[in-house]
Amino acid sequence: MQIGLKHTKTLTVAERDCAAQVGSGMLPVLATPVMAALMEMTAAESVLPFLEPGMTTVGTRLELDHLAADPVGVTVTCESVLTEIDRRRLTFEITVRDGEETVGRCRHDRFLVESEKFMKKAKEKAERLKA
C-alpha cells in the first residue's frame, strides 16, 4: 500500500438512495448519507488487497462537502486517493462526480485494526451498557 493508491466505484442513483427515502431531506436526489457511505466504501475497498489476514479498516473521520444534487437515474463516479499513511491512520481525498460536475468531495481517515480485537472490545462495551 502506498501514497497515490486510487480506487473508483460507480453508483446509479435509485429511489432508495434519495434524501426523501433515508430521512436526510425531502427531495428525490442523492442523499448525503448515501454519498458518504459510497465514499467510505470506495476508500475501504482500495486497501483490501494490501491487508494482512485478520486486519480491516474502520472509518474515523469524514469531512464532507455535498456540492450539487443528482436525481434518480444519474450515475456518479467516486474516486478515492490515498494521500497519507501515518502508522495505522490512512488519509484519503475523495471526489464524487457526475458527467457534468463535482458533486461531492471529502477528506476521510481510516484506521487499520485487528478485526477480532476490535470486535471483542465492541462486545465488551455492549455487555457493560446492558448492565
What are the grid coordinates assigned to 8, written together?
473508483
Of the residues 32, 56, 83, 91, only one is catalytic, namely: 32
Annotation says 66 is catalytic: yes
DSSP 8-20: EEEEE--GGGBHH
Give which of 78, 58, 64 is closest to 7, Cα–Cα.
78
Report d(CA 114, CA 122) in Å as an integer: 12
Give which of 80, 83, 90 is closest to 56, Cα–Cα.
90
Annotation says 84 is catalytic: no
Report d(CA 47, CA 90) in Å as an integer: 10
Report d(CA 16, CA 6) in Å as an integer: 27
Annotation says 102 is catalytic: no
Of the residues 42, 57, 66, 95, only one is catalytic, namely: 66
Q: Catalytic site residues?
A: 32, 40, 66
